[in-house]
Each structure stands twice: as structure tokens, then as C-alpha cells.
Amino acid sequence: MTMMRTVKRLGGFPCCHRQWKDEGHCSLLHGYDRWVEMEWEGPRDHRGWVVDFASLKQVRKALEDQYDHTCLIAPDDPEMATWLELHERKALDIRVTDPTMEGMCLWVKDLVDKWTEEHCPGVRLIRVTCWENDKNASSWEAQ
């Protein structure tokens, strides 16, 4: 059986965050247009595909819910009360999560791993790369 690799890129998720532990300007609220690249390895199906990209609607929806026009706040952010108040007043749509690109990579990996198991028998997720702009990214890779 021939194993193939396939890559899908999803994105254009404008998202803001802050790295409150940073001693520089990254401690301030700022944002990027985030992108995700996912790579799978597996056999081709009856159509010749490793992954049916059209079936990724559930993954795209979860990414939009988490990252599209949202504000990522670390669970230990000392300004949490302020962020929650702004969220309640509908001034920010916050997600309490690891706001780093590394954290995004692991969040996406968990999401897509589960989706792959359910929708793509015999296929495995081997890489996730998350971009915060055209210069900076973080990757997870299967061992």
C-alpha cells in the first residue's frame, strides 16, 4: 500500500492576545491574522485522496469559534477580572486559553487528532503548524 502525505491550510482568523509575562511590548494586547497548516499521512481512499478536505467543515467551525475575532487570555492573567468584565459587556469575546502559538499548536493538534480518528481510518496527523503572521509560526510534529 502506498502511503501519501497531504496538507491543508485554513485561516484568516483575526485574533488578539497578550503575553502578560513578557517584559516587552508583547505584554500589551495585540493581534494577528492566524493560519493553521495540517499535514496527514495515510493511504489513498477510493477517490485517490488521503483526506477529503470538504469534510473539514467541523474543524473549520471549531477554529473559527476559538480564533475568529476573539481575544485569547491566559488562565493566570492578573487582569482576568477586567477581561471578564469586558467580555460580559460584549466589548471582547474572550477565550481563556494558552495564548502562545505553541499553545495554539497543541490545541489544534488535539482537535484535529480526534477529528482524524473519527473521519479518516488508517490516516494519522503528522504535523500542525500555526502562523501568527507571515514571519512567525510554531509547529508540532508526531514522533
- The reported pTM is 0.94
Buried (b) or exposed (e) across 8-18, using 16+ Cβ within 10 A? eebbebebbbb
pLDDT digits (tens, 9 = 90+) for 30-84: 999 999 999 999 999 999 999 999 999 999 999 999 999 999 999 999 999 999 9
pLDDT of residue 55: 94
Domains of the chain: 3-141 (3.30.479.10)
pLDDT of residue 109: 98
Buried (b) or exposed (e) across 64-78, using 16+ Cβ within 10 A? eebbbebbbbbeebe
Q: With bands split at pLDDT 50, 70 and 90, how would you rate the model's confidence at 2? A: confident
Q: With bands split at pLDDT 50, 70 and 90, how would you rate the model's confidence at 28? A: very high
Q: Going by DSSP bridges, is the β-strand pair 137-141/70-73 parallel, antiparallel, or unpaired? A: unpaired
Mean pLDDT of the chain: 96
Whether 1 shows a pLDDT value over 90: the answer reads no
